[in-house]
Amino acid sequence: MFRALSVALLLVPALSFAQARSAAPAGAEVYILSPAEGAKVSNPVTIKFGLKGMGVSPAGVKFDGAGHHHLLIDTDAPANPALPLPTVENKVVHFGKGQTEASITLPPGKHTLQLVLGDYLHIPHNPPVMSKKVTIEVTK
């Protein structure tokens, strides 16, 4: 019985954490300024992030109407936007210091890039603020 109670108490914070979504202002947008859709680029690839209707703040710092960027590479947005975005090597890159630009190295070939804004806890806003996917080709 003590074990069941302990497990239940451990789950309570996780459940409340998963529901702690910050509101996104109406009309908020995140987008990739460059590279453009269909661009042929070489390494390192410089990606410039755009944001409209919201501010940028570092991870761990709570500001209403603000968040930080997460870059999805060759992957889809998370199925459950109520959970924190995971760090996945070469797939989900966090920019928790509030960066608005990054240089990354990708293997040659076609790749998709997408931005998702996360709040101070890395949780996508409600509704999620996500860019369109951009497809690029890395030549070398």
What's the pTM value of the predicted model, to 2 decimals? Answer: 0.84
Torsion of CA 69, 24, 135, 42, to 10 degrees: -20
Domain ranges in the chain are: 2-138
> Which CATH superfamily includes the segment(s) 2-138?
Immunoglobulins (2.60.40.10)
Structure tokens at 59: 């991870």
pLDDT one-digit tens code per residue, 30-85: 999 999 999 999 999 999 999 999 999 999 999 999 999 999 999 999 899 999 99
